[in-house]
Amino acid sequence: MSLIKRSLAECFGTFWLVFAGCGSAVITAGFANLGIGFTGVALAFGLTVLTMAYAIGHISGCHLNPAVTAGLVAGKRFPISEALPYMAAQIIGAILASAVLYVIASGKPGFTLGGFATNGYGANSPDHYSLLSCLVAEVVLTAFFLIVIMGSTDARAPKGFAPIAIGFCLTLIHLVDIPITNASVNPARSTGPALFVQGAALEQLWLFWVGPLAGGILGGLIYLGLFSKEN
């Protein structure tokens, strides 16, 4: 399949991840008694990856995340020549999803933009974690995400179960990371909402590129070095 079609699949898939994942938090935020809560938001993100893995995994590989693409390049599972088109498509999908989510959310009487599911550290961390804490969390959690992705899609792994493992891994990551950074592990997911909130969300966006990209590459190298078939 052509790179254009595969990149379009990445755009659609990342749109779904940001729209449904971030939307689960933004749309239900005002429902004190009926909202899906902390666990629900974590599960929503996991379900976006699970559903898209079955929908487009056979087309593009269902990266949906520049850190995943970078990690798969480092792990020699994806050609570096195709990384930038994939990343560009993922960012575009995230921005479009944030725009649609904004249009929907702003239609509620008394709407205020608030955090709009953005990520942050320090005063902008949900539980006021320091920059160092947030950076370490993003690196470690993204690294383990790549290890799970590469392990579950390894030719030696049971067939057909990778989307389940990956989806539940992302859910678990959000259960840990939401109080720390509001859970990024995905530069595209962080970029889309930050463009609408601006201010501190944009000023702190660098961490949610540096941390996940470093973690993704680290995870890819760990799996390649320790667990690949050649070792």
pLDDT at 194: 98
Neighbouring CB atoms inside 10 A of 103's CB total 9
Q: How far apart are CA 228 and CA 223, in angstroms?
A: 6
- Tens digits of residue pLDDT in 80-91: 999 999 999 999
Query: Could you tell me the CATH number of the domain that includes residue 48?
Result: 1.20.1080.10
pLDDT at 87: 98
Q: How many domains are contained in the chain?
A: 1
SS (H, E, C) 148-207: HHHHHCCCCCCCCCHHHHHHHHHHHHHHHHHHHHCCCCCHHHHHHHHHHHCCHHHHCCCH
8 A C-beta contact, residue 104 and residue 20: no
Both tokens of 21, joined, read 């994942």
pLDDT at 35 over 70: no
Its domain, for residue 168, covers 3-109+116-227
Q: Which residue has the tokens 């005063």?
A: 123
- Tens digits of residue pLDDT in 124-170: 999 999 999 999 999 999 999 999 999 999 999 999 999 999 999 99
Q: How far apart are CA 166 and CA 151, in angstroms?
A: 10
